[in-house]
Amino acid sequence: MLEALAHQHLKHLLQRDQSTWPHHLTLSRLIARGLRRRDQALFQLVPGSQEQWWLGVLVPLCLQSRRAVLVLEEPLQKRLLQLELPRLRDAGFKLACWTAETPPEGDQLWVLSTARLVQAHQRGLLNADHQLVIPEAEHFSQRLREALSITIGPGDWEQLRQAHPCADAALLDLHERLSRRLFSQAPRCDAQVRLDGSELQALNDLVRMLGPLPDPWPKLLDTHGDRWVSWAALDHRLLQWQWHLDVLEPLQELQTLLQGQPNLLISANGQADQLQQELEATGVELDVCVHLREPSLLEPLPLFAPRRQPLPNSEIFAEHLLDQARRLILGRAGLTVVLLNDDALRHRLTSELAGEFGSRVIHETTGPDSNGVICCRWEWWHHHHHQLPLPEQLIVALLPLASLESPLTAARVEALKRQGRDWFRELLLPEALSQLAPAVSPLRRNGGRLAILDGRVRSRSWGEQVLTALQPWTPLQRLLPQ
C-alpha cells in the first residue's frame, strides 16, 4: 500500500534528517492516499510551515509520480532541483522531474509554474488522467489571475499599426482620444484609471476587422466585459499609459482546470475558508479536508490593542500612529516591523520615526540593525520575512483591507453588489484575515508581541473576527518599561 511505503521510507529518512516538524509522517500518508485514490483534497498547514512540507510531498511522489503534475513557481522549482532532489538522492531516493511545456511520455514528475499550467490547460495538454499537486494553494487564485492578465503598452499599439497600416489612422485616433480622457480624469499623478465598456467595445470591434494580430492583441478578443476589469496605469512623466486587463474570478474563468480533475491542495496561511468557498463556487467538491495544527504555535500571543483608538479616517490618526509607534519602539532590543499599506502614510511615518530613532529606521530593506525598525507593506513582509531575523514585535498600523481605489478591487466589489451580496464580509474581510496569521507566525516562534493601532478592530462589529483569527492571544493592557 502506497501510504505504508511512504510512511516507512520517510521514517528512515527523518532519522537522518533530524527534522522536528511534527507532521511529516501525517502529511506523507495523506499525500500518498490522495495519489492512490486520486482525491480532490485540501490539506491546511499552520502558518510558518512553508518550508516544512517538502519531504511529506516528495517522498510519496518518488514512489508514484506517473501522471502527477507538481505546480511550483520559479523560486520553488530552483529549490526543488538544487536542494531537495540532491538531498533525496543522497538518501537513496530517485525522482525524475520533467520541466518542459509538453507532458512527459514516461513516469517523470511534470513540474510546471502556474502560468505554464494555464497554457497547458488552454492547449489541451492536461486531461483527467493527470493529478495536480499544488503547494502554496493560498496563492493559487491570485497566480491564476496573473497568468491570465493582459498588459498592452505603447509598443504593442505601434506593432498593431505597423501590422495593419490600413487601420493606422483609426488606431491612432482611438489611442489619442483614450489618452486625452485618461490624463484629464486622473485624480493624481501616475494614477490608475478604469476604462469603461463602451471604449473597450469600440476597440474590440475595430481589432476584429483587422485579421491576423500580433501578441498580445488576440487575447483581447477572448475577454468578456462582465468577467474582466480594465484600467490604465498612467505615466505622467512620459505622458504614456499601460493598459491592464484582469479577470475578476480566475477559478471560475478556468472552471474545467480543477473541476473533475484530481488535485491535492496544500495551504499554509491558516485561513482556508475563502479558498474552500472559491472552490465550491467552481463546482469542486473536496473529498478530504484536513487541518494539521502545531502545538508549538498555540502559545498565547501578547496583544496590545487599546479599546479607544482613533479611526483611520480621522484627522488625528497620523499623529496617533506616530505617538504609539514611538512608545512601542522605545527601549526595544530586537527587530520591530511596522505594517502599513497606505503609501503616503507609510512614508510619512518612516520619516518621522527616523527623525526620532535615526538610521535604525529603514523602509522595506532586508538589512536591519539588531534593534532595527522596518516600515513596510504587508505584501513585502510576506515575501521577505524569511530573509530577516525573527521580529521582537509587530506593529499593525492599518489592517490589510484592500482599497476601493484599486480598479480590480472596485470591479470585484461591484460584481458582488450586482448580486446583492455582502461585499465587505464576503470579499474584503476574508482576504484581510487570510493575511493575518502568516504575518504574525514569526512572532509566535520568537515569543514577540503584537500591537494593533487600527481603531476599527475594537469599534467595528467585524473586529471580533480579526481577534478570533489571531487566537490564541493574551491582552496587554498597558506598555511597561523594560
Q: 24: Cβ–Cβ under 8 A, 6 or more apart, which residues?
A: 10, 14, 52, 55, 56
SS3 per residue for 383-401:
HHHHHCCCCCEEEECCCCC
Query: What is the DSSP code (8-state) at residue 84?
Result: I
480 assigned to some structural domain: no
Is the domain of 164 the same as that of 238? yes
148 vs 378: CA distance, rounded Å: 24
Cell of 175: 489611442
pTM: 0.91
Alpha carbon separation from 464 to 77, 273, 341, 456, 472 (Å, rounded): 39, 17, 22, 10, 13
pLDDT, residue 482, reads: 45
481 assigned to some structural domain: no
Is the domain of 226 the same as that of 262? no
Is the domain of 17 the same as that of 125? yes
Share of the chain above pLDDT 70, in %: 98
Is the domain of 123 the same as that of 181? no
For the chain, how far is it from start to end, CA to CA, in angstroms?
A: 57
Q: Is pLDDT at 297 greater than 60 in this prediction? A: no
Is the domain of 338 the same as that of 418? yes
Is the domain of 225 the same as that of 305? no
384 assigned to some structural domain: yes
Q: Residue 91: which pLDDT band, with cuts at 50, 70 and 90?
A: confident
Number of domains comprising the chain: 3
Is the domain of 311 the same as that of 290? no
CB neighbours of residue 224 within 10 Å? 8
**Amino acid, single-letter form, for residue 101:** E
pLDDT, residue 298, reads: 61
Cell of 416: 458582488
Residue pLDDT, tens place only, 174-196: 899 899 989 988 888 878 998 87
pLDDT, residue 160, reads: 93
Is the domain of 219 the same as that of 168? yes
318 assigned to some structural domain: yes
Share of the chain above pLDDT 90, in %: 65
Q: Is pLDDT at 76 greater than 90 in this prediction? A: yes
Cell of 387: 530573509
Residue pLDDT, tens place only, 373-388: 999 999 999 999 989 9
What's the distance, CA 237 to chain centroid? Answer: 30
Cell of 406: 484599486
Is the domain of 165 the same as that of 117? no
pLDDT, residue 260, reads: 79
For the ranges 45-49, 147-151, 275-279, 398-402, the lowest mean pLDDT is seen at 45-49
Cell of 223: 475577454
Better pLDDT: 340 or 222: 340
Cell of 20: 522536528
Is the domain of 461 the same as that of 328? yes
Residue pLDDT, tens place only, 214-240: 999 998 888 877 889 999 999 988 889
pLDDT, residue 220, reads: 86
314 assigned to some structural domain: yes
CB neighbours of residue 300 within 10 Å? 11
For the ranges 214-218, 271-275, 362-366, the lowest mean pLDDT is seen at 271-275
305 vs 475: CA distance, rounded Å: 8
CB neighbours of residue 118 within 10 Å? 21
Q: Is pLDDT at 473 greater than 70 in this prediction? A: yes
Domain assignment of residue 216, given as a range = 149-247
Q: Residue 478: which pLDDT band, with cuts at 50, 70 and 90?
A: confident
Is the domain of 65 the same as that of 133? yes
pLDDT, residue 58, reads: 94
482 assigned to some structural domain: no
Is the domain of 266 the same as that of 234? no
364 assigned to some structural domain: yes
Reported as half-sphere exposure (CB side, CA atoms, 13 A), residue 405 has a value of 10
* Average pLDDT value for the chain: 90
429 assigned to some structural domain: yes
Residue pLDDT, tens place only, 237-272: 888 999 999 999 999 999 889 887 899 999 987 667
The answer to whether the CB of 248 falls within 8 A of the CB of 23 is no
Q: Residue 480: which pLDDT band, with cuts at 50, 70 and 90?
A: low
146 vs 142: CA distance, rounded Å: 6
CATH number of the domain enclosing 32: 3.40.50.300
